[in-house]
Amino acid sequence: MLPFSELLDYRDFAVVIREEDVLHTANILRAVPPGRRDALQAAGRAAFLRYFATVDARLDGLFAVLARRRRARDETHTVARTIAASWAAPCDDDELALLRRAQGQG
C-alpha cells in the first residue's frame, strides 16, 4: 500500500507498471506522450508539496487519513445501531400476528 493512497490516486502523477512488465519499464516510459509526461510531473510536484515535502505536510496527510477512517467507522456504526434498534423495537399486535403466522404458530 502506498502512502496516503486513501487520499491520492497515484495514477494521476505516476506511471503504474505491472510487476510482469517491469523488464519493459524503459519502453513503457518512452511511450508516454510528452504532454502526458508534463501533466504527470506537474501533478507529482503538487502531490509532493501537499503531502510529502515537510513534516507538517506529512502530518496533515496523516490526520486527513485518520479523519476519513473515523468518519467511515462512525457511518458504519450508525448504520449498525439503526439496524439493531429496528430489530429490538417492540412489535404491535398486528406485527406480532404476522410474525407468528410466518413462523407457523398461528
Please say if the pLDDT value at position 89 is more than 70: no
Residue 1: which pLDDT band, with cuts at 50, 70 and 90?
confident
Q: Is the pTM of this model over 0.75?
A: no
Number of Cβ within 10 Å of residue 106's Cβ equals 10
DSSP-derived letter for residue 91 is P
Residue 69 to residues 1, 2, 33, 51, 73: CA-CA distances in angstroms? Answer: 15, 16, 37, 17, 6
User: Could you tell me the pLDDT band of residue 60, with boundaries at 50, 70 and 90?
Assistant: very high
Tell me 79's DSSP state. Answer: H
Picking from 35-39, 44-48, 53-57, 89-93, which range would have the lowest pLDDT averaged per residue? Answer: 89-93
Q: Which of 50, 71, 37, 43 is nearest to 3 (CA)?
A: 50
pLDDT given for residue 86 in this prediction: 64
DSSP string spanning 17-74? --GGGGGGHHHHHHTS-HHHHHHHHHHHHHHHHHHTSSHHHHHHHHHHHHHHHHHHHH
pLDDT, tens digit, for every residue of 9-29?
Answer: 999 999 999 999 999 999 999
Q: What is the mean pLDDT of the chain?
A: 86
